[in-house]
């Protein structure tokens, strides 16, 4: 876990409309020659979430993540999800959206913009005070442990969850679900201005411990870290996130399985 020492106002001010517009998608596309196991064909085109639904739960919890790699000075964009937590200020995302895998270092200028639309942050820029990534991701960059979270500062006297609500964190659940994969794809043919979703069951398992899960979704870079939501008896949970693809299976999206490893990252964040 990293304690963020940057001034929150300075970070919020850093993210001008121009910097948000030009931030690079932090996508992970693996070589085509490495194929996942148990893949079944599936093509599902992402659909735009109606803009009138952005403020409606659970879409209200989805937003863009912005950060800078201090080693290169480059700005990047991901997606994330506000989750219910003890501190009311936790964002679930991918490990590669908070830290450089295998390099044991965290990013800077980290901010979350829920309900982002057309270059604006209607609910404000929520800057991080803590960043958390899975220890195996930090040390080795293993995608099956690509879990990340942020704890954000309050804004205008409110916690994040008080402002936009939050989904529950769902861990150690069945691998057979219908996921609503959400995020802000920014690489062509998308432009990062609007929220999209794919609704899919599991179509593939990849290698790793625990095994990542694959769904059918053609969202592109920029959607990384966006939550895979499920509805169980009327309660919404985040139970995965957009994480990586293979070059030859661009219509399959993978997430590390949310088991005890993901739960440890979430629990660390929610009490930080």
Pick the CATH number of 2-270 from 2.40.10.10, 1.10.287.1060, 3.40.190.10, 2.30.30.700: 2.40.10.10
Q: What is the pLDDT of residues 36-67, one digit of tens each?
A: 554 455 567 899 999 999 999 999 999 999 99
pLDDT band at 261 (very low <50, low <70, confident <90, very high): very high
Percent pLDDT > 70 in the chain is 95
pLDDT of residue 266: 98
Q: Does position 33 have pLDDT exceeding 50, yes or no?
A: no
Average pLDDT over the chain, rounded to an integer: 94
Q: Does position 34 have pLDDT exceeding 70, yes or no?
A: no
Percent pLDDT > 90 in the chain is 89
pTM (predicted TM-score):
0.96
Distance CA 242, CA 77 (A): 13
Domain boundaries, the chain: 2-270
């Amino acid at each position: 876990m990293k304690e963020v020492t940057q001034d929150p106002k300075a970070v919020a001010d850093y993210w001008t409309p121009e910097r948000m517009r030009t931030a690079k998608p932090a996508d992970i596309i693996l070589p085509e020659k490495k194929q996942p196991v148990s893949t079944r064909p599936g093509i599902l085109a992402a659909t735009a979430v109606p803009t009138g639904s952005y403020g409606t739960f659970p879409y209200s919890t989805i937003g863009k993540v912005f950060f800078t790699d201090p080693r290169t000075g480059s700005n990047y964009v991901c997606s994330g999800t506000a989750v219910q937590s003890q501190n009311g200020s936790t964002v679930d995302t991918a490990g590669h959206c908070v830290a450089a895998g295998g390099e044991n270092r965290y990013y800077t200028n980290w901010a979350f913009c829920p309900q982002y639309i057309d270059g604006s942050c209607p609910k404000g820029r929520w800057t991080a005070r803590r960043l958390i990534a899975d220890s195996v991701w930090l040390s080795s960059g293993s995608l099956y442990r690509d879990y990340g979270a942020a704890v954000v500062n309050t804004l205008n006297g409110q916690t994040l969850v008080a402002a936009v609500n939050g989904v529950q964190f769902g861990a150690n659940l069945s691998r057979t679900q219908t996921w609503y994969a959400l995020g802000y794809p920014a690489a062509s043919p998308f432009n990062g201005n609007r929220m999209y979703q794919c609704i899919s069951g599991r179509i593939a398992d990849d290698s790793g411990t625990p095994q990542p899960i694959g769904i059918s979704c053609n969202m592109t870079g920029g959607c990384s870290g966006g939550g895979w939501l499920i509805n169980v008896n009327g309660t919404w949970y985040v139970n995965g996130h957009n994480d990586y693809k293979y070059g030859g299976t661009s219509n399959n999206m993978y997430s590390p399985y949310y088991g005890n490893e993901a739960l440890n990252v979430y629990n660390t964040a929610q009490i930080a």
